[in-house]
Amino acid sequence: MFPYQYTSAIIGIILGLIIFFLIKHDRLHVKFAFFWFIIAVAVIFLGVFPKFFDKIGNFLGVSYPPVLLLVLALSLVLLKLLRTDIERSKLEQRIKELTQRMAYLEGIIESKEHEKQ
Amino acid sequence: MIIRKSFFDKKILIIVPAYNEEATISNIISLIKGRYNLDVLVVDDCSQDNTRDVSQKAGAAVLSHCINCGAWCAIQTGFRYALNKGYDIAVTMDADGQHLPEYIPFIIKPLEDNDADLTIGSYTGRGSAGRKFAWSFFRIMSGLSIMDLTSGFRAYNKKTFKYLIADESLIYDYQDIGIILFMLRCGMRVKEVPVLMEPRQNGCSRIFSSWWNVLSYMIDTSFIALTKRLFRDRRHLMCSVNNFK
C-alpha cells in the first residue's frame, strides 16, 4: 500500500508549488501573496510531516488530532472569506466613487468643448 | 402656497437620477423649468435609450455614468456636482413622473426656515398593501417615526452634501432608511412634509419588480435598520412632521 505520508506530501507539494508559481508570476497582489506564501509553506510542511499535527493534537488534549486540522483550516477559510468580502466592499465603494467622479469630469470636459464651439 | 422671495434667492439644484427614462424625462424637466426655472441635473445611470439626448434637449445638464451603479449612486453624483458648483439646496426627484414639481417649495421651506437639514416629501396614499406593510415593518425595525420611508422626493441643504458623498454613504444602494439613519447619525435634522404624488408614468419600481427583488430588499433594509439603530445616537431619533400651510 502507498504510505499516507507520500500522499499528503505529494498533495502538499503540488498545492505549495501552484501558490509559489502564482506569486512568482505576480498573479497575486503583495498583500494577498504573503498570506498564501505562509499557507504554501504550511501545506508543504504538514504534507511532508503529517504526524506533526498528531503531536500538537495530543499536546492540546484533542482526542482525534485530524479534527484539529479541520477546525483550524475551516477557521482560516472563514477568516479569509471575511477579509475577501471586506476587500470587495471597499472595491465596490471605490468603483462607485470613480464612476461618480468620472461622470462629473466628463461633464466638465463636454461643457468646455461646447464653450469652444 | 405663496412662494417666498428667498426661494428664488437660493441656488437650488434638482437632481433626477435616470435609467432608460426617455419617455418621461423631457416632460419632468419642462415642468420644473417652466414653473420655477430651476437648474436641473439629470444623472444618466448608463441608460440604453436616448435619456441623455432627450434630457439635454429639454434643457437639463446631464452627467452620464459609464456603468450602471444604481439610483443612489446616481444621486450622489448629483451631490458632488451640487457641492462643486456651490448650490445651497439639492432636491431629488424621480424621472418617472411620480413627483410633482409644484411641491418643491413645500419641501424646501423647512430648509429655508432652518428647521431641518433634510426633508422628505411624504405621500402615504400611494402604494399597495404590501408596500404599506413594508413601511410599517421598517418603522418598527428602525424606530423611526417617518411615514413614507422610501420616498425619493427629498430636499437636502448644503450642510448635508459633504456627508452624502462620504465613503460611509457609498455602501448604500437606495435613498431610503439607510440614508435617513445615516443623516441622523451625522447630527442632521430630518423632517417629513406631506405632498401628493402621481402614479408612475413609465416602467415599474426597481425594488418591487419581482418577488426576489422584494425579498432581497426587505432583508437588506431590515438589516440596515436594525444594525444602524443599535449604533445610533438616541438624541436624533424623533423626526417631526411638518404640515404644509
Look up the ipTM and state it: 0.72
Residues of A in contact with B66 (CB under 8 A): 99, 102-103
- Are A104 and B66 in contact (CB < 8 Å)? no
Percent of chain A with pLDDT over 70: 99
Choose the most confident range, by mean pLDDT, from A69-83, B130-144, B194-208, B228-242. A69-83
Asked if the Cβ–Cβ distance from B80 to A101 is below 8 Å, we say yes
Nearest residue in B to A97, CA atom: B170
Number of structural domains (chain B) is 1
Residue A60 phi/psi, 5-degree rounding, is -85, 0
- For residue B2, being part of any structural domain is answered with no
Subunit contact B77:A93, Cβ cutoff 8 A = no
Chain A contact residues (CB < 8 Å to B) = 89, 92-93, 95-97, 99-104, 106-107
Between chains, do B65 and A99 touch, taking CB under 8 Å as contact? yes
Cross-chain CB nearest to B66 (options A89, A93, A102): A102
pLDDT greater at residue A39 or residue B76: B76
Classify residue B222: in a domain, yes or no: yes
- Domain that includes residue B136, residue range: 11-241
Nearest 5°: CA angle at B10, between B193 and B52? 80
Q: Which helix (H) or strand (E) holds B41?
A: strand B39-44
Express each pLDDT in B127-186 by its tens digit: 777 778 888 888 888 888 888 888 999 999 999 999 999 988 888 888 988 899 999 989
Min Cα–Cα distance to chain A from B194, Å? 31
Sheet holding B154-157, edge to edge: B61-64, B39-44, B12-18, B89-92, B154-157, B118-122, B190-194, B240-241
Q: What is the CATH number of the domain that holds B93?
A: 3.90.550.10
Name the residue among A93, A95, A107 with its Cβ closest to that of B63: A107
By C-alpha distance, which of B115, B103, B92 is closest to B179?
B92
Return the half-sphere exposure (C-beta side, CA atoms, 13 A cut-off) of residue A93: 14
Give domain status of residue B161, yes or no: yes
Residue B4 lies inside a defined structural domain of this protein: no
Instruction: Tell the burial category of B69 from Cβ atoms under 10 Å away from its Cβ (0-12, 13-18, 19+).
Output: buried
C-alpha cell at B183: 443623516
